[in-house]
Structure 1
Amino acid sequence: MPLRLAAPCVLLLIGSTPLLAQPDASESAGAVEALRAALDENRGMPADLAGEPFARVPLTREDAATARGLIWQAHEARIRRDRAGELEARVIEDGDLTMPFSYSTFGEEPEGGRGLYISMHGGGNAPARVNDRQWENQKRLYEVGEGIYLAPRAPTNTWNLWHEPHIDRMFGRLIETLIVLEGVDPDRVYLLGYSAGGDGVYQLAPRMADRWAAAAMMAGHPNGVSLRSLRNVPFALQVGGDDSAYDRNTVGREYGDRLDALREEDPGGYEHLVKIYEGKGHWMDREDAVALPWMAGFTRDPIPSKVVWEQVGTPHGRSYWLAVPPEDARLGSLVVATRGGQTIEVAEAEGVSTLLVRLDDRMVDLDRPVRVEHRGEALYEGIAPRTIGTLLETLVGRGDPGLLFDAEVSVALPDAG
């Protein structure tokens, strides 16, 4: 039963099951003070801070909350210092690629922060001027009652504009920046797109599922993607009944049926809205705009009771409160896990040998033992220590307070394919 242990710790043996003793209050407080000093000294958050000895010390609940606040404050300061220029320029860079974007703000800002609607244009494998026109159209295509409506310009002019690997990185960075600099509520980030942009929604919604409160696909094609990871992402699918190019209408109906079947099998998930506009072709005369207020009715749950994580398109290292080591992030792998009380059950696992389960006191009582099991067998049972290292590791690359976790348990999955 492998576990990433924070040091120092004391083992108590009850039968054959190791339980970790409660953290030492003095050492816990000392770790937080060491974190505070490191942040003050470096005026930010060095990439290797998670490797410092104090980052492995088990923390009390109170000290973990303090550390979380210090880390988030340092993160905000770094984003304000390093990202203000790119937001002002309205351009995201990734290597040699650039993604210009435009955004407008609607309504009064709610107490919890603004909604964010990322709206992807159509076009595809065409001259740049064609995709430029599509981008200009997308800027004006929809309005929202409240929130930031943001239209990016795809970095390339390829057929798969919105589902190449750099899009995941660019959208992640954009969301991370807007949470801090524009007061975006990370639980109210929405994805939508038309035509080739709809293709992108089919792809990005499942593979970045833990980012979205809801998603809306307009007049796109799924290119065979699986929708299983949409368990916690309400999904709108709209297509013209006469939109026969690439069989969009036929495939749209088929995917609507798939969503119905997923919902019937798992009534707690797979919320969806499917509209086939009979008599309409590729252009739906803006009737598809009904998806925006529909999406606005949903907020993300960053710690859902059940996670279905199937790797499609571009592999990711984490989804909600699950993660894998980099070498285990591969296409086709699947994990289905549920949580209840102090128990995490891994119901299905394919193509994953090591699973990282992230935890905090929203999910379980970390002062009591937690159990991770698979097919009735305990893979781990004991205290999962809160550490600064886990807080830092779960912040890096996300910048999302809802996906910041205090503890991590690593378990080996038997018979991994």
Structure 2
Amino acid sequence: MIKTLRLIKTAALVATLSLSGFIASAQTNLSRREASAIAANELKTQMAVQKPKAEAEWAAKQIQYKNFTMKFTTQIFGDKPADGRSLYISLHGGGGAAPKVNDQQWENQKKLYKLKEGVYFVPRAPVDAWNMWHDYPMDELLAEVIKDEIVLDDVNPNKIYVMGYSAGGDGVFQLAPRLADYWAAAAMMAGHPGDAQILNLKNIPFDAFVGGKDAAYHRNELVAQWGNRLDSLQKVYPGDFIHETHVYPDMPHWMNRKDTIAVAWLASFKRNPIPKDVIWIQDDILRDQFYWLGTDVATAKQGQKVRVSISGNKINIIDNQEEMLYIYLNDDMLNLNKKVIVTINGKKVFKQKVSRNADIIKQSVAARLDKGLIFSGKLVVKNGAVTSI
């Protein structure tokens, strides 16, 4: 009897292990159709999770992140297109001044631009400082804004634009490159570039405006120089670094609304969420993901550069200064039913199939609610070796 019971328990254990192995296999060896179904279901689930939070934030007209509060107003223009609304995030001027100064600039920004279509979102900076639009925690606050608007107003993640005047222009100079994977295009008005990472703009159009007499902080000279740099980069990378630079010779800091032409220019572009050639330089505010590239923030450092390109089913790591580099993949980027080849500086280091993984799908959905940036496969690059998750 005891022997029989042992046999039964052993059989049950084997069956359990086999079932758990089957479940694990089913979650990590998905077909393209299975991966797509999981992504659609997870997106629906996570949007339902986000909705009550979004509704509460929109009712309060403010977003809280830790001990920071960002107030905002919104205005909707035009009918909603079939592919979803546009979102324009418009940053006011001011800076390191008394709160009433920044409040006045916020009021001015609300009336500064009119849209043909879209949500015009005007936040009030959570702090009164010169770097109020590009210091911590603006990345987190804007990410929350975008998730809320995807849920509440059916904003299309491929039609999100950032723009700003004066100190808001300073913010655009920093946020456009740092968060380039969020934007369809960016427009900078009367700002200062500081130490912004221009190479990160490879895949987003950038429009710059400045008065020729706006000599404070050398804005007029520096914006013109920025435009010249983009001219040069566009020659090196044909088809990328799309831009326009407007220097109005007789205009001071206030350009008398000449910059309003930016709205139509912005609207003419849509984001490509998975460009085939990405340059990523870490800013002083570190990020763990940029388009389909990622890293461990614990080991990342400001100024580290990565450049990776994809051609067919081949991934070429041209430059990588990150200690740990992640490459996220999906079937829109390459064919995951076939082997993926990875080269580092032209040397082949990987040639295998990359499994579609349900956990990676769910993680990418939860991070952004962005259907253009849902990934099912992941490669890890460390010490010159590549492994598949």
**TM-score normalised by L of structure 1:** 0.85
Give the superposition deviation at 1:379: 2.8
Give the superposition deviation at 1:304: 0.5
Amino acid across the alignment from 1:243 = D
Write out per-residue CA displacement over residues 153-191 of structure 1, whole angstroms, 9 at most, x where no aligned residue.
000001111011200100011101111111000000000
Give the aligned CA root-mean-square deviation in angstroms. 1.8
Distance 2:303 2:187 in 1: 24
2:374 maps to: 404
Equivalent residue in structure 1 for 2:343, among 373, 386, 393: 373
1:285 maps to: 256
Give the superposition deviation at 1:27: 8.4
1:260 maps to: 231
CA contact (8 A) 1:203 1:313 kept: no
Say whether residues 1:322 and 2:293 are aligned partners: yes
Superposition map of 1:271-310 within 5 A? 271-310=242-281
Amino acid across the alignment from 2:368 = R
Equivalent residue in structure 1 for 2:48, among 74, 77, 93: 77
CA contact (8 A) 2:46 2:366 kept: no
Distance 2:128 2:365 in 1: 32
Distance 1:276 1:93 in 2: 38
Residues matched between the structures, number? 368
- Relative contact order, CA 8 A, sep 6+: which one is greater? 1
1:73–1:412 CA distance, 2 compared to 1 (3 A): same
Say whether residues 1:174 and 2:149 are aligned partners: no
| Secondary structure of the structure 2 residue equivalent to 1:298 | coil
1:123 maps to: 94
Distance 2:91 2:97 in 1: 16
Superposition map of 1:69-148 within 5 A? 69-148=40-119
Structure 2 alignment gaps of length 5 or more: 1-17
Write out per-residue CA displacement over residues 377-398 of structure 1, whole angstroms, 9 at most, x where no aligned residue.
2232101110111112222332
2:15 maps to: none
Give the superposition deviation at 1:54: 7.3
Query: Percent identity over the alignment?
Result: 39
**TM-score normalised by L of structure 2:** 0.91
Distance 2:309 2:233 in 1: 17
CA contact (8 A) 2:178 2:197 kept: no
Give the superposition deviation at 1:56: 5.0
2:361 maps to: 391
Distance 2:348 2:121 in 1: 46
Amino acid across the alignment from 2:36 = A
Write out per-residue CA displacement over residues 22-43 of structure 1, whole angstroms, 9 at most, x where no aligned residue.
xxxx989x75xxxxxxxxxxxx
Q: Could you say which structure has the larger radius of gyration?
A: 2
1:269–1:63 CA distance, 2 compared to 1 (3 A): same
Distance 1:27 1:115 in 2: 46
Structure 1 alignment gaps of length 5 or more: 1-25, 32-52
Superposition map of 1:8-19 within 5 A? none
Amino acid across the alignment from 2:90 = S
| Secondary structure of the structure 1 residue equivalent to 2:145 | helix
Give the superposition deviation at 1:413: 4.8
* More moved, 59-68 vs 189-198: 59-68
Amino acid across the alignment from 1:111 = A
